[in-house]
Amino acid sequence: MKKTLKIGIVGLGRIGQIHLSNITTRIKNAEVVAAADISENLLDFARRHGVENVSTNPESVLTNPEVDAVIICTPTPSHVPYTILAAQHGKHIFCEKPLDLNIEQILAAKEAVELANVQLMLGFNRRFDANFLKVKEMVHGGLVGDPHILKITSRDPNPPQIEYVKSSGGLFMDMAIHDFDMARYVMNSEVVEVYAKGKVLVDARIGDEGDIDTAITTLTFANGAIGVIDNSRKAVYGYDQRIEVFGSGGMTQTKNNTPDTHEYYNEKGGHLSLPLNFFLERYAESYVNEINVFVASVLSGEKVPVSAHDGLMATAIAIAAKQSCQEEKPIRVEEILNALMA
Amino acid sequence: MKKTLKIGIVGLGRIGQIHLSNITTRIKNAEVVAAADISENLLDFARRHGVENVSTNPESVLTNPEVDAVIICTPTPSHVPYTILAAQHGKHIFCEKPLDLNIEQILAAKEAVELANVQLMLGFNRRFDANFLKVKEMVHGGLVGDPHILKITSRDPNPPQIEYVKSSGGLFMDMAIHDFDMARYVMNSEVVEVYAKGKVLVDARIGDEGDIDTAITTLTFANGAIGVIDNSRKAVYGYDQRIEVFGSGGMTQTKNNTPDTHEYYNEKGGHLSLPLNFFLERYAESYVNEINVFVASVLSGEKVPVSAHDGLMATAIAIAAKQSCQEEKPIRVEEILNALMA
Amino acid sequence: MKKTLKIGIVGLGRIGQIHLSNITTRIKNAEVVAAADISENLLDFARRHGVENVSTNPESVLTNPEVDAVIICTPTPSHVPYTILAAQHGKHIFCEKPLDLNIEQILAAKEAVELANVQLMLGFNRRFDANFLKVKEMVHGGLVGDPHILKITSRDPNPPQIEYVKSSGGLFMDMAIHDFDMARYVMNSEVVEVYAKGKVLVDARIGDEGDIDTAITTLTFANGAIGVIDNSRKAVYGYDQRIEVFGSGGMTQTKNNTPDTHEYYNEKGGHLSLPLNFFLERYAESYVNEINVFVASVLSGEKVPVSAHDGLMATAIAIAAKQSCQEEKPIRVEEILNALMA
Amino acid sequence: MKKTLKIGIVGLGRIGQIHLSNITTRIKNAEVVAAADISENLLDFARRHGVENVSTNPESVLTNPEVDAVIICTPTPSHVPYTILAAQHGKHIFCEKPLDLNIEQILAAKEAVELANVQLMLGFNRRFDANFLKVKEMVHGGLVGDPHILKITSRDPNPPQIEYVKSSGGLFMDMAIHDFDMARYVMNSEVVEVYAKGKVLVDARIGDEGDIDTAITTLTFANGAIGVIDNSRKAVYGYDQRIEVFGSGGMTQTKNNTPDTHEYYNEKGGHLSLPLNFFLERYAESYVNEINVFVASVLSGEKVPVSAHDGLMATAIAIAAKQSCQEEKPIRVEEILNALMA
């Protein structure tokens, strides 16, 4: 086993910068040896973090013989081709979610990775957050008994730009996909059926693009449990991220994280801090933790904990949710998988 | 306006005793002048509370010329005939929920009451609980802006006896009906569509009776908002009664009430009190408040705040939920109303 | 053992009315058979609650042969003479706190009660509040191990009228005396030394009367533990009543009670309910509980749980606190007792 | 203004390592160019973090012409001589608390620093913690009105080794000194009088060394407010760090930080996470923040926010507390200052 994993990063946007900065400062046994972005400006960011080998050509990083593993942070349409290229060059791969909006593409990436015998880990970072980890441990450890009801509340502080909405794949594929992954993860059971009710209540322009901004999605799990996710694109009080699992043995839930724990009381009432503002702040530690796990898994040869299969299933649930919402009836996930893999 | 409302109570079971005891000790401007129950033992309870005119014949109370208003706490099948009889004798009526499981019967009662020009108030006591009242005031007062998402968690500490399940009308009609009423009340908007996913996860015998014990129900409101109710017949940690309303202007939620506010910390963790055990304890004050409102409304001639229409709508939603659960598709409440009133 | 305790109440001010109303409606095995107050208006209150034997002469109640027990709610200076008179006539006595501001007077009452072999219970109602009871049970049950540190926060929403301040005996005797009793009760150990730092920060007129409105009092207990009480006459956010006990095995604390459990979040922050406003509302249940315990103790012949000795000790601590504050040094409670009993 | 501050660190124990690691990874505009420790092993730690100039001789760092500023993390007795040496060589200084246990020594350091016109900042890191910062901002911003009562709870999870106790200066100088600094900081007013009650309740060996392990300390501030600090060397539930400020306009308080926000309910009760374990974990961010502020202040030439005067006053309060505890009477801080500077 090598002692230090040499990493190449492609895509130095918001999330690429976070990974680069984290690896430089907080990740054990890893260093960034190459980075690529189409923007020269962003390459400066890499240079300032001590990466000498920078390029505007992502392929040069993905095929660089010095590189052991790549982190793919480019826009979604390039995820699969870059994954395949990297796999063909024997690199282990950490790829931001979603792997693709299209199940055939996901399967193509999965096949390439298996063929090349490299690891592919997807960036479902919330799995590595202390709150969700605790709930998952309690559920898997039997503290809630047989799980009966899962509740996830997941609300953004503000909708994305309309331009982004157009190419995002929609609320289920872009936003709720994290919640679908969390549902499978924490319940330790596959989602077999989805019913989604969606609405345009936040911004009519989102509806003009054929998307929704508010949704309640009912999930049925293979183990018999049921669950519900409520999503909104705009919570004026900030980023609302809560989970609850109820079962035969008890119930566990998490509250939002806040910048401090103060309470203030005056003649008008009691006052509390708002939740941490948005995902970069709220999930900052999870981005460190997920790369630490990726690096440790690759170095030790152990299986990474978030696979292409996980990406496949989350995507299938998102497709089912979108179809349920449009057709106004529950959809079985198996149908989606069968239809798309036919 | 009379100063004191003379009340007759029919049915001295658990809830009838509560009303009698509350009127004797905590309700202003009212006294119980007559009471009836088929059990002689229960009449003793009335005598000990100073009711001299007791009888094993409910009709004698419902037709008693001395009585201004009646409180009907007998089993559900008698609610409508007793309401009609009382109305025909000019009594104002407070009737425990549900008015009936059958919409035609409800309409018959409604008609009799209107014909007699008396008031009929239904015992949706949770409307008079401090937590729900606060949330309703905040929503109606505009503090959450336009409501987008309603969440109700409603879980009992233990399932009822199987014998009771058989005649209860099922989880939606017997238990969730309170939540359906609360949904309409707090959102100030009618439910137009229902999708319910039900499961038997607590006790297989409940399934043997054709009922369910766990459910997630999605509601669509006339004002465009959506909502979700999760129900379970058995929460091992006690009676779980929470509500949350989210909208364009903010979010409000309530926690469970506890017998005390202590926290305890030792080397094993922090510890909190469990919720108040069950509805008699949790909603004790609401039973006082609802009768106070009933008495005040009748004495002043103002309209009671929970009408036969409210009973009708809650029942229609329950029927829609049951049908949705069986047919595995969303059901419009209007269809239920039209079909049953056809 | 008699089945029903016949009670006479002297003094129908705020607290006398509460006891009368509670006995009428919520206390088991007791009835009010006589009541006295110097105000004719207040006697109407008693008549409306069904007390036929009312009088402007308290002595007629205290000596009434029909009366088994008396509740003394008159101003403090009459507590001891009325207690002695009632004892001489064989009545059991429930007396509001403080028994007296003077230790010799307290001892005189104690002696009369012992001589007459009747019970005397003092109205330290907070002992019967669910929060304090829970903490006391946890401490006495060993859950905090050996107690090391007691913390009591006790702040009123508003200072009393200046006229009242003049005759109140001062902050320690009038307000903190409840906290001194609670300290002894919950720690199950006598206070042996007191150091108090007092300030006039709320209202200069309180200082003009030689009193203080803000204080921090350090207590040393016979069992080696130490404690601190902080008092203020004016908390703009309402009545602040909290306790914490820390020991070798853990820590337990209580929060304030609120009218409801809602939380509200908007773009300005999170919001909570304020504490229940003042003692009549906050401690409403404790007034019911204490009389229930008094009645049950008298009827069964068991010792009442709050004795003249408790009044004596709380008063001695208050005197020590006042002296400590004035002399700016710690004072031993034994000195106070010795000096006053010399 | 230089763009990057070149820092030398002397002492690479626990806290020295934290500063080195933080500067390497998380501090802007600073780099560690030299480090010294008497242990060769610890120098390896520095080398692994890219510090090439390492030495077993602290003086070589303190006098190194390349070094702009030094961070002193050696044992307390060397703080003043190293501060003076560094000042004489024109270095800005960040020194861990306490500067010294002796006030004359502190004054000598202060003088040297002023003479050399360099900055000296003390490591009262809790001032840079989000919770305490929030409370301080609220108090200084007038949200609690005129402050009346300060409450600090500060309890360690475990007592230090007895060997450490011997040389620590005792509970007030070693542990409570952080709380004394916080009291001055948050109240924005000097402490003028101290009364401390100390006990040996945790470990008799601490008493054998002439120290205490449990204390309640009453503070009187120049602005008229009063405060109380309760300390324990052993809280079995972990590191307990809370603050509350009460005033004419309201009250603000903070709760402990926890590793996650979960709540768990089963039939035995509700359960919460324990506080973050100890100061390295609880105050991790504050160590980053304080060095960021130090670096920014030195680079910009602005005054550092924690001065030798702050160290002087915290030490004087600690001496007063110890003397009060021994002499069993309140002590004025001015007396301490006068006596020691005479």
**CA–CA min distance B145, chain C (Å):** 10
Q: How many CB pairs (< 8 A) connect C and D?
A: 103
**pLDDT tens across the length of chain D (342 residues):** 568 999 999 999 999 999 999 998 889 899 999 999 998 889 988 998 889 999 999 999 999 999 999 999 999 999 999 999 999 999 999 999 889 988 899 999 999 999 999 999 999 999 999 999 999 999 999 999 999 999 999 999 999 999 999 888 899 999 999 999 999 999 999 999 999 999 999 999 999 999 999 999 999 999 999 999 999 999 999 999 999 999 999 999 999 999 999 999 999 999 999 999 888 899 999 999 999 999 999 999 999 999 999 999 999 999 999 999 999 999 999 999 998 776
> What CATH number was assigned to the domain covering residues A127-283+313-341?
3.30.360.10
Q: Are residues D201 and C148, on separate chains, in Cβ contact within 8 Å?
A: yes
**CA–CA min distance C264, chain A (Å):** 9
Q: What is the pLDDT of residues B269-286, one digit of tens each?
A: 999 999 998 888 999 999
Read out DSSP for B16-40? HHHHHHHHHHT-TTEEEEEEE-S-H
Copy the structure tokens of residue D146.
Answer: 């005129």
> What is the homologous superfamily of the domain A5-118 according to CATH?
NAD(P)-binding Rossmann-like Domain (3.40.50.720)
pLDDT band for position B3 (50/70/90)?
A: confident
Look at residue C167 in the predicted model and tell me its pLDDT.
85
Whether the predicted pLDDT of A259 surpasses 70: yes
Look at residue D203 in the predicted model and tell me its pLDDT.
97
Whether the predicted pLDDT of B342 surpasses 70: no
Q: Are residues D261 and A257, on separate chains, in Cβ contact within 8 Å?
A: yes
- From chain D, the residues in CB contact with C230 under 8 A are 149, 151, 228, 246
- Chains in touch with B (3+ beta-carbon pairs under 8 Å) read A, C, D
D278 close to D237: Cβ distance less than 8 angstroms = no
Whether the predicted pLDDT of B103 surpasses 80: yes
- In this complex, the residue of A149, A214, A330 whose CB is nearest that of residue B214 is A149
Mean pLDDT of all residues belonging to chain B: 95
Average pLDDT over residues B39-65: 92
- In this complex, the residue of D149, D234, D237 whose CB is nearest that of residue C216 is D149
Whether the predicted pLDDT of A337 surpasses 80: yes
Q: Are residues D270 and B236, on separate chains, in Cβ contact within 8 Å?
A: no
Q: Are residues D272 and B269, on separate chains, in Cβ contact within 8 Å?
A: yes
**CA–CA min distance B263, chain C (Å):** 5
Whether the predicted pLDDT of A286 surpasses 60: yes
Whether the predicted pLDDT of A1 surpasses 70: no
Average pLDDT over residues A253-257: 97
CB count, 10 Å around CB of A188? 14
Q: What is the pLDDT of residues A49-98, one digit of tens each?
A: 889 999 999 999 999 999 999 999 999 999 999 999 999 999 999 999 88
In angstroms, how far is the first alpha carbon of chain A from the final one?
41
- In this complex, the residue of D263, D266, D273 whose CB is nearest that of residue B236 is D266
Nearest residue in C to D147, CA atom: C201
Q: Are residues A253 and D262, on separate chains, in Cβ contact within 8 Å?
A: yes
Q: What is the pLDDT of residues A187-236, one digit of tens each?
A: 999 999 999 999 999 999 999 999 999 999 999 999 999 999 999 999 99
d(CA B337, CA A33): 69
Q: Are residues C227 and D246, on separate chains, in Cβ contact within 8 Å?
A: no
In angstroms, how far is the first alpha carbon of chain B from the final one?
41
Question: Per-domain residue ranges for chain B?
Answer: 5-118, 131-282+313-341
- From chain A, the residues in CB contact with C267 under 8 A are 236-237, 274
Look at residue B188 in the predicted model and tell me its pLDDT.
96
pLDDT band for position B89 (50/70/90)?
A: very high
- Chains in touch with A (3+ beta-carbon pairs under 8 Å) read B, C, D
CATH label, C127-282+313-341, candidates 3.30.360.10, 3.30.2350.10, 3.20.20.450, 3.30.1360.40: 3.30.360.10
CA nearest D127: which of D193, D77, D169, D188?
Answer: D188
d(CA D133, CA C315): 41
Look at residue D50 in the predicted model and tell me its pLDDT.
85
Residues 6+ apart with CB under 8 A from B111: none
CA nearest B123: which of B304, B254, B282, B244?
Answer: B304
Q: Are residues D237 and B266, on separate chains, in Cβ contact within 8 Å?
A: yes
pLDDT band for position B262 (50/70/90)?
A: very high
Chain D positions with Cβ closer than 8 Å to C: 145-146, 148-149, 151, 153, 155, 195, 197, 199, 201-202, 214-216, 218, 220, 224-228, 230, 232, 234-237, 240, 246, 248-251, 328-330
Which stretches does DSSP call E strand in chain D?
A: 5-10, 30-36, 53-55, 69-72, 92-95, 120-122, 147-155, 191-199, 214-221, 226-232, 240-247, 250-254, 262-266, 269-272, 331-332
Q: Are residues D274 and B265, on separate chains, in Cβ contact within 8 Å?
A: yes
Strand partners, C121: C94
Chain A positions with Cβ closer than 8 Å to D: 24-26, 130-131, 133-135, 138, 143, 249-257, 259-267, 273
Q: Are residues A272 and C273, on separate chains, in Cβ contact within 8 Å?
A: no
Q: What is the pLDDT of residues C169-205, one digit of tens each?
A: 899 999 999 999 999 999 999 999 999 999 999 999 9
> What is the homologous superfamily of the domain D127-284+313-341 according to CATH?
Dihydrodipicolinate Reductase; domain 2 (3.30.360.10)
Q: What is the pLDDT of residues C256-276, one digit of tens each?
A: 999 999 999 999 999 999 999
Look at residue C50 in the predicted model and tell me its pLDDT.
85
Nearest residue in A to D246, CA atom: A265
Look at residue A4 in the predicted model and tell me its pLDDT.
93
Q: Residues C136, C138, C141, CA angle at the centre, nearest 5°?
A: 105
Copy the structure tokens of residue D328.
Answer: 């069993």
Look at residue A342 in the predicted model and tell me its pLDDT.
65
Look at residue D342 in the predicted model and tell me its pLDDT.
65
pLDDT band for position B2 (50/70/90)?
A: low
- In this complex, the residue of B266, B270, B274 whose CB is nearest that of residue D236 is B266
Look at residue C26 in the predicted model and tell me its pLDDT.
84
Q: Are residues A228 and B230, on separate chains, in Cβ contact within 8 Å?
A: yes
Chain B positions with Cβ closer than 8 Å to D: 236-238, 263, 265-267, 269-274
Nearest residue in D to A257, CA atom: D261
The helix or strand, by DSSP H or E, that contains position D326, with its residue range, turns out to be helix D308-327
Look at residue D341 in the predicted model and tell me its pLDDT.
72
Q: State residue A4 phi and psi, 5-degree precision.
A: -130, 130
At position D300, the amino acid (one-letter code) is S
What is the torsional sign of CA C128, C129, C130, C131?
A: negative
Look at residue B167 in the predicted model and tell me its pLDDT.
85
Mutate to test the interface with A, among C155, C237, C253, C257 (most CBs of A within 10 A): C237
**CA–CA min distance C229, chain A (Å):** 20
D316 close to D275: Cβ distance less than 8 angstroms = no
Nearest residue in C to B25, CA atom: C25
- From chain D, the residues in CB contact with C227 under 8 A are 216
pLDDT band for position A283 (50/70/90)?
A: very high
Average pLDDT over residues A102-120: 95
Q: Are residues D131 and A261, on separate chains, in Cβ contact within 8 Å?
A: yes
pLDDT band for position C297 (50/70/90)?
A: very high
Q: What is the pLDDT of residues C68-103, one digit of tens each?
A: 999 999 999 999 999 999 999 999 999 998 899 888
Mutate to test the interface with A, among D242, D258, D261, D267 (most CBs of A within 10 A): D261
Given CATH 3.40.50.970, say whether it is the number of domain B131-282+313-341: no
Q: Are residues A266 and D24, on separate chains, in Cβ contact within 8 Å?
A: no
A177 close to A315: Cβ distance less than 8 angstroms = yes
Chain C positions with Cβ closer than 8 Å to B: 24-26, 130-131, 133-135, 138, 143, 249-257, 259-267, 273
Look at residue C146 in the predicted model and tell me its pLDDT.
98
Strand partners, A227: A150, A219
Copy the structure tokens of residue D190.
Answer: 């000097």
d(CA D36, CA D43): 7
Look at residue B41 in the predicted model and tell me its pLDDT.
85
